[in-house]
Amino acid sequence: MKIAFVCPDGVSILLFCRGILNALQSGSEKIEVYVVIGDNKYVGEIKELGVEVLVIPMYRFFNPFLDLRTTWNLYKLFKHEKFDAVINFSTKPNIFGSIAAWLAKVPLRLFHIVGMGAVFLPSNNFKKRILQVFLLNLYKLACMLVHKVWFTNSNDLDFFVKQRMLDRNKTVLTRNYLDTGYYFPMEYDDPTLIDLRKELGIDRDNKVVVMVARMIWAKGIREFAEAAEILTPKYPNMIFILIAPLETGRADEVPVSYIKEMEQRANLHWFDFRKDVIRFYGISDIAVLPTYYKEGGYPRALLEPMSMGKPVIATVSKDCRGAIDDGQNGYLVPIKDSNALAHSIESLINSEEKMSAFSRHSRNKAITEFDEKVIVKHALTELGVLQ
């Protein structure tokens, strides 16, 4: 069986899709896996996963002309390579990869939704609402052209069904997933963590709160920065670390000037993209994600620190709260409430007993509910890829 796995960029493959690729290659029948990505970054690292890599440029934002070109190039690739199955991952491949696979008469056509993104948040902006309608109709077309769709968020699945975009019989629903063997609790004196603490000037007296997201308002950047500003005067040894790659060109991007100003007003340290996020989780005491973005139900920015035995704090949003047992491995706070976020952080930091209990519950929950070895294999079997 010859399969194309289509993803918009190489970093998403490395961060989110290793489990899928591993499961495809561990099946009982021989499966030849090709990864199709929209950029040439990390090609060498992806090849180390034992797959072939093909690059078809994909423009990140929506542009009718460039998207038509991407669809045409994908069609030609699928036709030439004669794939038995195409699995699309993320919005652009889901839409344009599915259309191309149908045109190329690929026998098995699938796509995977792990979150619908900021474009589907309610908005009063006329242009954004027009874009939403356009995308929903494109998604409806894509749903008609594929055999099954894999969701990790029941709210997204219900939305697609209620909008009559998709028949429920064509869906597979799971939780999100991660490699709990890779994201594991690290000892304080781990050499890699010692090096990072030296780099950042952190010692045993410091408590570290980390947030990993993208630099857009809907991820809760303002709330995190304001919580840091609230707590810094009372807890001068508490350090807030934000890892958030820039989102240049997006209407809802957070200006660098804002975060730079907040760095001056609090013990807040902002980093752009880091490949060593796992080390930042390793040195953290708490991980937070005060998001109101259209997450996939179980955001990786919560699952990863949970798997590493960290207490977590998120919002009551139905698109992220599934990862947290409120009061057992973390707290849920109201959306856009910086004071509530600060209060929850303070409540945890001041109780070693809570910190320890929440940490154990986080690790146990990650292993029992989100381990990719179980979830991914089940999903691929339900999708008809594995037997």
- Give the max Cα distance, the chain: 64
Give me the pLDDT at residue 251, please.
80
Helix (H) or strand (E) holding 286: strand 286-289
Give me the pLDDT at residue 248, please.
85
CA quadruple 138, 252, 43, 75: dihedral, nearest 10:
10
Question: What tens digit of pLDDT does each residue of 211-220 get?
Answer: 999 999 999 9
Distances (CA, A) of 383 to 108, 109, 159, 266: 9, 10, 20, 48
Give me the pLDDT at residue 53, please.
98
Whose tokens are 């190039």? That residue is: 73
Strand partners, 5: 35, 87
Domains along the sequence of the chain with CATH: 2-177+372-382 (3.40.50.2000), 191-370 (3.40.50.2000)
> Dihedrals φ, ψ of 73, to 5°?
-65, -40
Give me the pLDDT at residue 117, please.
67
Give me the pLDDT at residue 116, please.
77
Give me the pLDDT at residue 131, please.
78
> Dihedrals φ, ψ of 308, to 5°?
-90, 10
Where the chain has pLDDT below 50, the residues are none
Give me the pLDDT at residue 122, please.
66
47, 65 contact by CB (below 8 A): no
Alpha-carbon distance of 374 to 174, in angstroms, equals 10
